[in-house]
Structure 1
Amino acid sequence: MYQVTKLHYHRQSKLLDITFDDDLHASMSAEFLRTHSPSAEVQGHSPEQTQLVLNKQNVTIVTIEPVGHYAVRLCFDDGHNSGLFSWQYLRKLCNNREQLWQQYQDKVAAHLQSKDSVPIKFVP
């Protein structure tokens, strides 16, 4: 199992740099991390319960709290701080971020399209 050796958050660009012990280096946006939080609030307790987290384009990471030698808790400025980002989960996000981001964008587009198709009822 890979270990994270360095985490560095850039407040201006809102990017978290992650370096693993095998020298894999990746940068992930605060928005991506917030919308892919491992918390039950976002992931639910099964794949069917996954929640679509919207409007997090401007979210920032306020603090990064180490949890033992296996994870961090990311505290976001919207108050979200549940869910532990284990090294294993961060590695999964790093390895699959383009696919995960595209799936997220597709879900957002489908959500917005379904919102627009709801008929409006005018009451006289």
Structure 2
Amino acid sequence: MSEPTPIAPAAAIDAEPGSIHALVLHQLDEDQAQDVVSIPLAGKSSIADHMVIASGRSTRQVAAMAGKIAERLKKEGHGNARIEGLPAADWVLIDAGDVVVHLFRPEVRSFYNLERMWGFGDEGSATSMAGHA
């Protein structure tokens, strides 16, 4: 499996304008998510076309980012995303159909290390907004 690769800020990503993937990345950029990584799953898994993983500085920021993504998806006509983990907001999962989003507090993210579980190392070919704060 290929490794995650750095990506440009959301506005410059080669995602189809108006797509759920582009919308999610743009919203995470606006919400100042940290260490955003997008893993392409098309052809590798039937669960989604993309998995996006990002960190928030606190449970409050993680919960706010999840709420804004869900609100934006609904507003843009992509329906209601399913959200799990909001009460604790250590790890929030958003199922938006073609895109699955995992939002973590940094400590929880490093513990579960989803990037490695999906076969991606610390450097490599999922897309990461490295250096983006």
Q: TM-score, normalised by structure 1?
A: 0.28
| Larger relative contact order (CA 8 Å, sep ≥ 6) | 2
Q: TM-score, normalised by structure 2?
A: 0.27
Larger Rg over CA atoms: 1
